[in-house]
Amino acid sequence: MQMGSHTLGLAGAQTTQLLVDPPWRPAVLWDWVTLTCQGLGTAGATTWYKDGQRWGQNRSDRFTVTESGTYTCDRPGSGSSPALRVMNDRLVLQVPAQTLLEGDTVKLRCRVRQDMSFSRVRFYQDGKDPGGFLTGTELSLSPLQLNHSGRYHCGALMSFGLSLSIPVTVTVHELFTVPVLEGPPEPIEGSPLNLSCLSTPSPLRPPGPLLHLFYRDGQLVGGPQVSPQLLVPAVGVSNSGNYSCQVHSEEGTVRKSSARLHVTVRMPVANATITPSPLSHQVHAGDPVTLRCSVQVGSAPVTFTWLRDGQEVAQGPILELGNVSVEHSGTYQCVATNQLGQDGHRVFRALSPELALEVIPGSPWVTAVAVNVGRTLLFLLLLLAVIGGCHCWHRQATTKPQERTPPEEGEVLGPHIDGTEWARRPPQVTPGPAPPRDPQVTNMELPRPYKRQQDPDDTFEGVL
């Protein structure tokens, strides 16, 4: 481990820092410890404290320690530093005086004062033996992991018995968070698949890239790479599976894996429509008809092919049939395909539902005219029948008046021919002796409305 001054505290924080040389904490008095105060403001404005009390008249930012105790320093622009303890005990456990990150190479050492002898050393983490690798008086924690955080102390077997050091807190800072893999769980065949391996680096991490690896069902499919993205331009069914990503430091000392993300590639669905859209897909001959095909999603280029009764008839997403005839009847279906790559590899093939188109012969305008003409003729026939019936009734009424019952006095007999007024029977007058009849007069000589056989007793004269 490189020796020299190290900051006691978090690197990069805008606070006063206390540097110690040699870079161990707690420091031991027999190492000739030098303390340096760093912070905002001028060096001559440094104030030192020992065991919580303002210490001496030394206003320099650096000095060599000659007494054990707990030291801090203060700078007007950035405040007080963390405390550093300088010890003169016979047994001291020391930790590197640097910010400890995952993956670091770290050793703890158990120091015995030079005037003391010992035979064996043992280390403890939170009261238990951590089981680390021992090299004499040192405990190796390399590479450093988060579970190495805790309170440590050491024990040494001396001539007078077992001696224990005071506990020292070891804090391991995370180098980067556990990655999370994000992406669409159900992409459509032929669409791009973009997976993101998200991990937050620690601000204390030294400069250097993090490397990313991607796995599907345990097999490496991407990386190692600096980019946290895995892009598949166009997925197929074979791309389905359980994906995970792994992030590790440039040295590879820290590796963290994400949880698995199950990806299922779904088949695309094509759809065919007809314009205009009749309810039963029945159209009349001469109607303009357009068929349209679309697909849910997919990477360009997408090729559309139209089939009629299973035979290819056109290419493209729109099929213009124009003014259709009976020959256009049939079952239509569109096929959407996606071909990528120089070799023309087919990524997907989607079929639309079948669309039955029936063309009815004859123009709808001619049919409508024929229907209207038929209705008109029927109306005229009914009208003529009504007129004819009325005429017959009227003729029958005027040609057979003798068959009617003689009307009572004042009874309405019927209209005049000119339709001006209804004739009424005049009051009955007792007739005188009938004049002698001329034997030469016959019924044929009577006016036409009165031409009929006359009863000798009938004195009624038909009046119109």
What does the alpha-carbon distance between residue 448 and residue 434 come to, in Å, rounded to a whole number? 23
What does the alpha-carbon distance between residue 126 and residue 128 come to, in Å, rounded to a whole number? 6
Tell whether the model's pLDDT for residue 366 goes beyond 50: no
Regarding the domain with residue range 180-263, which homologous superfamily does it belong to in the CATH classification? Answer: Immunoglobulins (2.60.40.10)
270-360 has the same fold as 6-172: yes
Determine the pLDDT at residue 387. 78
Taking alpha carbons only, the member of 360, 337, 341 closest to residue 349 is 337
Domain 6-172 bears CATH identifier 2.60.40.10: yes
What does the alpha-carbon distance between residue 330 and residue 13 come to, in Å, rounded to a whole number? 78
The more confidently predicted of residues 20 and 417 is 20
pLDDT tens by residue, 18-74: 999 999 999 999 899 999 998 887 777 888 999 989 886 666 888 899 999 999 998
pLDDT band at residue 367 under the 50/70/90 scheme: very low
Determine the pLDDT at residue 135. 64
Give the DSSP H/E element, type plus range, for residue 379. helix 364-399
CB contact burial 101-116 (16+ within 10 A = b; e otherwise): bbbbebbbbbbbeeee
The more confidently predicted of residues 257 and 389 is 257
Would you identify the CATH topology of the domain 270-360? Immunoglobulin-like (2.60.40)
Tell whether the model's pLDDT for residue 171 goes beyond 50: yes
Tell whether the model's pLDDT for residue 463 goes beyond 60: no
Determine the pLDDT at residue 147. 92
Question: Taking the domains of the chain in order of start, what are their residue ranges?
Answer: 6-172, 180-263, 270-360
What does the alpha-carbon distance between residue 8 and residue 83 come to, in Å, rounded to a whole number? 8
Tell whether the model's pLDDT for residue 445 goes beyond 50: no
224: preceding bond cis by omega (within 30 degrees): yes
Tell whether the model's pLDDT for residue 5 goes beyond 70: no
Lowest mean pLDDT among 60-69, 359-368, 386-395: 359-368
Query: Does the predicted TM-score (pTM) go above 0.85?
Result: no
The mean pLDDT value for 180-186 works out to 94
Lowest mean pLDDT among 86-100, 315-329, 350-364: 350-364
What does the alpha-carbon distance between residue 235 and residue 328 come to, in Å, rounded to a whole number? 38
What does the alpha-carbon distance between residue 279 and residue 102 come to, in Å, rounded to a whole number? 69
**Distance of alpha carbon 4 from its chain centroid, rounded?**
56
Determine the pLDDT at residue 300. 57
pLDDT band at residue 368 under the 50/70/90 scheme: very low
